[in-house]
Amino acid sequence: MTDPALHPELLRIRADFPALAARPRGKPVIYFDNACTTLRPESVAAAIADQVRTGAACHGRSYHRLGRAATDTLARARHAVLRLIGAERPEEVIFVRSATEGLNMVARSLGLGPGDVVLTTDQEHNANLIPWQRLTRSHRIRHEIMPLGSGFDMAEFRRRLRRGVRLVSVFHTSNLTGATLPVAEICHEARRHKSLVLIDGAQSVMTHEIDLASMGADFFVFSLHKMMGPTGLGVLWGRAALLERLEPLIVGGDTVTDATYGDCTFAPLPARLEAGVANLDAAAGVEAAVDYLLQLERRHIHSHVVALNEIATEGLRRIPRVRVLGPPAPAERGAIVNFTMDGVGSHSLARLLDERAGVMVRHGKHCGHAWYNALGVEESVRASFAVYNTEAEVEVLLETVAKVDGMLE
């Protein structure tokens, strides 16, 4: 959507995203599914395409020029991640397929056993719920779930820590409500009680400044596809001493430096936790994505999406059958507005938005089935904003939802 009233800087940003120029069914693309996967700027697409065209070698294994180029591509991606999250040691950056794989790697490899307590909240993504459920059965850990209610209760958190917690595993920003937890304070309190902390940063890495040195987390995971980067690549960051204690989840390939028919010697970090040939096509897009994101500055992105959320929230609250989920203040929901409409299923509403106005949203339980079931909410529609979205696009969303509401009278 090209709006002549748009600020020139926003017009320039939108021009960087080829997907916004498409006209499916003759309608402009209004993409509000950014909490699932963001669009990619041309610079990221070009970096990936160049690797696909010219790269054809294994990293770290072949010395010829293409092999050295592959090794360099992966190294640059690793150093770009360090710049993004405020870390310093490249061996602490482990490339995985996604934040989901990173969470599962910690769950399966940390050595949790009978009686160990893992504490999460009641609004976690399935990726930070199901692994702990499985370990309660297979390893007899204790999984405790702390209800958030209207916010994070630090006094209750301290009480639980005093009873003994091996690992605190929580989101930074919720994919369900957009709420952001006080992770630095959580890490501080956990450290006082000798508990480890794993932070799911999948929803925060695009809109929040991440400084792991000041945050104090022991592990941090995120996916590149939620920050204008490639799909199929995620990051598990961890303190080196802890990563070295992880039992490799997948073995073979370059995870070892030597092997006999009876035993093997595992490689140092990060290779010991990165089995197989890396996804070099995706890795080629990491540096471009980080450069683009840091150039925009995440505090500006956050201000922009909150401003859009304020318009969306105000408009949705004027529609009789609509109920917004999560904290009442848009500023506390960041880029996400998650809502239901009485009398219309989420699938039907999402389909109508797409077919009638080209508005693309997510519908369903958003990989948070347990939360929905506990609330007694069947499903919802989630609109999530990014730096390239506009006020005019939000108005189209509101107008279309209002028309659907009018059809029910």
Which uninterrupted H or E stretch holds 63? none
Residue 139 and residue 110 in contact, taking contact as beta carbons nearer than 8 Å: no
Task: Judge residue 252's burial from the number of C-beta atoms within 10 Å of its C-beta, 0-12 exposed, 13-18 middle, 19 or more buried.
Answer: exposed
What's 1's DSSP letter? -
- The Cα-based distances of 283 to 44, 223, 229, 250 in angstroms read 10, 12, 9, 20
36 assigned to active site: no
Residue 254 and residue 271 in contact, taking contact as beta carbons nearer than 8 Å: yes
User: Which among 36, 187, 264, 367 is annotated as catalytic?
Assistant: 367
* DSSP states of 372-409: HHHHT---EEEEE--TT--HHHHHHHHHHHHHHHHHT-
What are the percentages of helix, strand and coil residues in the chain, rounded to 5? Answer: 45, 15, 40
Reported as half-sphere exposure (CB side, CA atoms, 13 A), residue 81 has a value of 29
Q: Which residues are catalytic?
A: 367
